[in-house]
């Protein structure tokens, strides 16, 4: 025998029985003892029946009859084919066991797809609600069983609470795992790339990061504060990529939610098809454009084309109080003589700049720039234009490779290049020469080319360089560093002409030493491209 209670607290009503017995003994009615016993017994029986009715006591006789209900989770993470296979098998079990009462509850917000022969089918919006519904529809005069077919990914509903409630009401719940072959997610949006600050009324391109299981034509929709503002269609390839959509932002200043969603054919997992972000919309910068009454203000039109909030006024109508100027961020005096501003207007503009931090641009051309009016010129003082400083003079040291590998056309090219460099120097320059083979064997310390004989001597020194011997770029660069003047009034530069056939490590160390001393290096390779010369040039930049 199985006894079930719907409302256990109602049993406390049985405590009234002793009170009834007491009242029966002290009754003022003249009753015989037998009648008094009958009255008290009837009263106790009524109280017991009322209490048991309120407590919803259900007495079930032992039975082997079975009632089974199946709750099927039809979330998008479970393939339709897998659910369909389960429903077919449940139908076969129901057909083979006519004595068992079978019901099915499909926990889905969509249309029911149950198979015939499964009994009454219910459609619910949540898995927890489906469990509760299934437990309530099981008959109380049978052994009650529930099969919960789910992938266990439902985190939005109180599924565990619903299972516990079903178990406490005498329903045995067994879990049947689903989702062993989940559907392929055709599309997912992972990020939204949009500016955090935009101007009111602007239309900008925003980008979304897209992951596609296969190539498809995707429809994108942009919403601002839940209102659709733009759509676009793009073809995406399988894998990760990006897509853009042009979004017009509202004219209302403030913080708005931008959300982009995507739809693709065959995409049944929609929970990852939306991305959103917050965007702050700023009011358009307000510009006060003051112009001459007789002129057509093309600059004002250009500022409006630039998406600025422009107010163009003749200079005589300029605001004369700080309160009137407070709404602007910039004042432009377009070909306006500042003396045409009244003194209150000048004071208001000056306070606008100094007290409110506003901007002021004066465009002159048609009117001469004068030292008056004083109120405006204290903001924009007239000073002589600064002179362009003369460049520092150059100290150039030519480092020329005269090793045996330079013999022939190469040494001739090096000599001609050196002579041409000396001829191109300004009269305030210094020039020195290092010719090297196995060592720095011919050296000329820097001389001033202001004197013609020094320039001619340096050119002749280079022209008489001959090829022969080994190659030691490190020794040559060390010698160039040694003969340099180090005078801070000069720009110090070394030109290395070589085929680069030298030991790299010491050569790079000497190049680094020159660069650390503030000497720049140009490396000119005579012959095929050489990695050593390229690295020396990189160090000497």
Same domain, 200 and 114: no
Cβ burial of 10 (10 Å; 0-12, 13-18, 19+) is: middle
Same domain, 136 and 74: yes
Of 122, 142, 177, which marks where a domain is finished? Answer: 177
CATH code, 424: 3.40.50.410
Does 344 fall in a domain? yes
Same domain, 407 and 484: yes
Domain count, the chain: 5
Q: What is the DSSP string of 353-392?
A: HHTT--EEEEE-SSS---S--HHHHTTS---PPPPPPPPP
Q: Is the pLDDT of residue 30 over 70?
A: no
Does 102 fall in a domain? yes
Does 490 fall in a domain? yes
- Token pair of 527, please? 């012959």
CA 37/CA 14 separation, integer angstroms: 18
Question: What is the arithmetic mean of pLDDT over 276-299?
Answer: 83
* Chain mean pLDDT for the chain: 82
Global model pTM greater than 0.75 = no
SS3 168: helix
pLDDT tens column, 137-182 = 888 778 889 998 887 766 455 788 888 888 888 888 888 888 766 5
pLDDT tens column, 483-509 = 988 899 999 999 999 988 888 999 999
pLDDT tens column, 95-104 = 888 888 887 7
Same domain, 126 and 91: yes
pLDDT tens column, 512-537 = 999 999 999 999 998 888 889 999 99
Q: What is the DSSP string of 291-314?
A: E-TTS--HHHHHHHHTT-EEEEEE
* CB distance 416 to 430 below 8 Å: no
pLDDT at residue 227, rounded to an integer:
93
- CA-based nearest residue to 266, from 208, 211, 210, 218: 218
Same domain, 223 and 354: no
What's 406's DSSP letter?
G
- CA-based nearest residue to 108, from 72, 135, 133: 72
Does 516 fall in a domain? yes
pLDDT tens column, 398-449 = 999 998 888 888 899 999 999 999 999 999 999 999 999 888 888 999 999 9
Question: What is the arithmetic mean of pLDDT over 198-222?
Answer: 90
Of 247, 282, 317, which marks where a domain is finished? Answer: 282
Does 322 fall in a domain? yes
CA 139/CA 87 separation, integer angstroms: 22
Same domain, 168 and 218: no
Same domain, 291 and 277: no
Does 386 fall in a domain? no
Same domain, 270 and 297: no
SS3 489: coil
Beta bridge partners of 396: 431, 493
pLDDT at residue 522, rounded to an integer:
92
SS3 265: coil
CA 41/CA 136 separation, integer angstroms: 37
Same domain, 222 and 317: no
Of 225, 249, 282, which marks where a domain is finished? Answer: 282
pLDDT at residue 114, rounded to an integer:
35
Same domain, 95 and 209: no
pLDDT at residue 338, rounded to an integer:
81
- Token pair of 343, please? 């003194």
Q: Pick the range with the lowest mean pLDDT from 117-131, 330-344, 399-413, 446-460.
A: 117-131
Does 383 fall in a domain? no
Q: Is the pLDDT of residue 112 over 50?
A: no
Same domain, 403 and 518: yes
Domain with 249 in it: 187-282
Q: Is the pLDDT of residue 61 over 90?
A: no
Does 182 fall in a domain? no
Helix runs in 153-244, H state only = 159-168
Same domain, 300 and 431: no
Cα→Cα distances 21→18, 31, 32, 40, Å: 5, 15, 16, 6
pLDDT at residue 58, rounded to an integer:
64
Choice between 324 and 156, residue whose per-residue pLDDT is larger: 324
């Amino acid at each position: 025998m199985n006894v079930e209670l719907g409302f256990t607290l109602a049993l406390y009503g049985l405590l009234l029985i002793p009170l009834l017995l007491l009242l029966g003994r002290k009754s003022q009615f003249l009753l015989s003892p037998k009648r008094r016993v009958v009255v008290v017994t009837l009263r106790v029986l009524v109280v017991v029946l009322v209490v048991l009715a309120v407590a919803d006591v259900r007495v079930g006789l032992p039975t082997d009859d079975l009632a089974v209900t199946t709750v099927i989770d039809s979330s998008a993470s479970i393939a339709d084919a897998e659910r369909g296979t389960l429903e077919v098998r449940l139908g076969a079990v129901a057909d083979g066991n006519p004595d068992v009462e079978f019901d099915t509850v499909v926990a889905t917000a969509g249309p029911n797809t149950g198979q015939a022969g499964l009994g009454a089918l219910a459609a619910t919006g949540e898995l927890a609600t489906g469990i509760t519904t299934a437990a309530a529809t099981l008959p109380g005069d049978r052994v009650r069983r529930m099969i919960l077919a789910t992938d266990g990914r439902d985190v939005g509903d109180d599924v565990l609470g619903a299972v516990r409630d079903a178990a406490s009401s005498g329903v045995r719940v067994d879990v049947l795992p689903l989702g062993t072959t989940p559907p392929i997610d055709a599309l997912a949006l992972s990020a939204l790339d949009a500016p955090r600050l935009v101007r009111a009324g602007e239309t900008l391109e925003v980008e979304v990061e897209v992951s596609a299981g296969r190539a498809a034509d995707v429809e994108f929709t942009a919403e601002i504060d839940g209102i659709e503002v733009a759509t676009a269609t793009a073809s995406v390839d399988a894998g990760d990529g990006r897509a853009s959509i042009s979004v017009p932002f509202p004219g209302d200043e403030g913080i708005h939610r931008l959300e982009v969603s995507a739809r693709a054919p065959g995409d049944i997992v929609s929970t990852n098809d939306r991305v959103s972000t917050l965007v702050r919309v700023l009011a358009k910068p307000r510009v006060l454009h003051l112009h001459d009454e007789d002129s057509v203000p093309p600059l004002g039109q250009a500022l409006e084309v630039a998406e600025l909030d422009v107010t163009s006024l003749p200079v005589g109508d300029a605001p004369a109080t700080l309160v009137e100027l407070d709404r602007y961020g910039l004042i432009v005096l377009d070909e306006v003589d500042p003396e045409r501003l009244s003194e209150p207007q000048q004071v208001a503009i000056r306070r606008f700049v100094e007290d409110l931090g506003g901007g002021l641009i004066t465009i002159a051309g048609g009117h001469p720039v004068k030292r008056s009016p004083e109120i405006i010129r204290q903001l924009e003082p007239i000073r002589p234009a600064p002179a362009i400083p003369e460049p520092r003079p150059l100290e150039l040291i030519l480092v020329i490779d005269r090793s045996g590998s330079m013999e022939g056309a190469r040494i001739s090219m090096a000599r001609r290049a050196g002579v041409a460099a000396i001829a191109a120097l300004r009269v305030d320059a210094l020039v020195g020469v290092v010719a090297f083979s196995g060592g720095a064997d011919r050296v000329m310390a820097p001389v001033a080319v202001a004197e013609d004989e020094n320039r001619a001597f340096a050119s002749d020194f280079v022209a008489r360089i001959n090829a022969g011997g080994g190659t030691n770029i490190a020794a040559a660069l060390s010698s160039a560093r040694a003969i340099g003047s180090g005078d801070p009034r000069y720009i110090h530069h070394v030109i290395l002409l070589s085929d680069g056939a030298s030991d790299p490590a010491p050569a790079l160390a000497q190049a680094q030493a020159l660069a650390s001393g503030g000497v720049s290096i140009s490396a000119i390779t005579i012959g095929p491209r050489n990695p050593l010369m390229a690295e020396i040039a990189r160090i000497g930049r």
